[in-house]
Chain A
């Protein structure tokens, strides 16, 4: 009963103030506008009509699927088998690397018959060539629903295309937007209440400290989730423009399961971030002080997220590190290669850390030095 009353009070505080609600929803809109503009600048909008020459080694009905998807995007695609072109695979790779050809698709033997039974394919492209990069992205996205191993080989000298860069940056951006959303509500609610003396008024009642901690973290997480969901929607809707492909292709690239995993990951680190900021707020004497500490926490998280995103083959150990595990898992999802166990373990790890932090907050609320120290 007491926990419910505490939670209702937090909800009443935020849902009773329309200005706070607007500040929660606004970031998603901004993300959508900014990312869409960025995508349009980078890819010249969705109307870009590429002329592509693609070599194909091996046979599969998937070739026509890719061709249809490319023409649906308004691209003129010439699909040539290596025998038609009269060249070998090595020459085809050289042509892709030099930009003479856009891409090379290599299918394993009896590919269509062995779908789901060890079929493998490779797409060789050049990320320095916009058309080639867009084609690789489209192939990656369009073939998600087929069960085979797709190897993506970039022959550019720069080491990564715009899409790959975006897949690296996006998880970090999601974390930052979620962090900002959590920060705005939690600082006010915990450090603000402590500074104004309204938290002490609750401490004089017989309610348990753990209930107060839970009564803060749970509703604040829900409120922060509104901001997070808004940011998430902003990212999802602007993703196609960023990838230079149409909405349905982009959606297929991440896949329904990918979106579910993405949202689960966000769902797991929102309460974790709220609990971390609440703990920092409980330790601080004022909103100003808490805001200073939290900013340091945010910068630290940004740097570590960037490192995680761009460190190749980071290893499975990252699942033990809160938030960063979600960054690594989200990167996998956004590049079209989600590692399901990593996503699920990350969710569990983040929730476990949240529980630990709630216990820490309850201890802090019981500490006279923390709550009433000058």
Chain B
């Protein structure tokens, strides 16, 4: 298993976002749901932050704060209206292909075809990332054994349990041994057992030397996993830094609500 060394070109900073701005057009139905007359919604408003090599960085914020939009920009699925972000030194605007080569992106919106087996899909996505056949076979053997997928390698994905499916999705997202792993709401909607699978997986990845960026609204997850935290409120970075520096003497939850009240007033 190789780690993500060397990073000679961009030092320790694996992800750097610079003044990201993104607006979305709202349909009439969406305007009704958002209780607004404005046809556009500002999802990100000049968001900047950086994540360091070998650390887990957590983007924390309420629903609609802009966490998912940030991760989608970093994974090149969408483009920022203004600003830029760099992953391992590659611009998401100018070099989206190179960015996709060095990231593994995991979100509940990305699904695996139920008709195929984990083994087939691992090979398929390995080919999509241009992984050489011999290396792919070795990596499959290692990862499948490590996460207990080997016994289910030839079972159709549609027949797997939720926990096993989550493991398969996680393993496939890192089929190309990416330097940076991005997870959008990694434990959202999962039962306690499957959530534990994911948390253990993230810790495993960190132990492998991977850099991880995750979004969540669960305080305990950040406290348990993250080295750094960025608190996003209304598309802006409200606080960013090492977990203990951001929280000081307070718990993360208390600190978050203190920041939230200072921005939004008492509207909690």
- Residues of A at under 8 Å CB distance from B? 1-2, 5-6, 9, 12-13, 16-17, 193, 196-198, 200-208, 368, 371-372, 374
Interface SS majority for chain B: loop
Interface size class of B (residues with CB under 8 A): 20 to 34
Which residues of chain A are near B119, meaning CB under 8 Å? none
Q: Which of A2, A12, A368, A374 contacts B128 (CB 8 A)?
A: A2
Which residues of chain B are near A200, meaning CB under 8 Å? 77, 109-111
- Tell me the nearest residue of chain A to B172, going by C-beta: A201
Contact A1 B111 (CB under 8 A): no
Contact A204 B100 (CB under 8 A): yes
Which residues of chain A are near B128, meaning CB under 8 Å? 2, 5-6, 202, 205-207
A149 nearest CB across to chain B (Å): 57
How many angstroms from the CA of A368 to the CA of B92 in the assembled complex?
14
Q: Which of A2, A17, A204 contacts B77 (CB 8 A)?
A: A204
Q: Which of A2, A196, A372 contacts B78 (CB 8 A)?
A: A372
Which residues of chain A are near B10, meaning CB under 8 Å? none
Contact B113 A204 (CB under 8 A): no
Q: Which of B76, B77, B98, B115 contacts A16 (CB 8 A)?
A: B115
Contact A197 B115 (CB under 8 A): no
How many angstroms from the CA of A5 to the CA of B97 in the assembled complex?
18
How many angstroms from the CA of A203 to the CA of B30 in the assembled complex?
26
Which residues of chain B are near A13, meaning CB under 8 Å? 113, 115-116
Which residues of chain B are near A372, meaning CB under 8 Å? 72, 77-78
Q: Which of A201, A204, A206 contacts B112 (CB 8 A)?
A: A201
Contact B129 A5 (CB under 8 A): no
In the complex, which residues 161-186 of chain B have their Cβ closer than 8 Å to any Cβ of chain A? none
Contact B130 A2 (CB under 8 A): yes
B108 nearest CB across to chain A (Å): 9
Q: Which of B27, B101, B115 has the most CB of A within 10 A?
A: B115
- Tell me the nearest residue of chain B to A16, going by C-beta: B115
A51 nearest CB across to chain B (Å): 62
B75 on interface, CB distance cutoff 8 Å: yes
Contact B127 A1 (CB under 8 A): yes
Contact A203 B77 (CB under 8 A): yes
Contact B127 A197 (CB under 8 A): no
B105 nearest CB across to chain A (Å): 5
Provided the pairs A5-B124, A12-B120, A206-B129 are in contact, do residues A201 and B110 lie with their beta carbons within 8 angstroms? yes
Contact with A along B118-162 (1 / 0, CB 8 A): 001000110111100000000000000000000000000000000
Which residues of chain B are near A205, meaning CB under 8 Å? 100, 125, 128-129
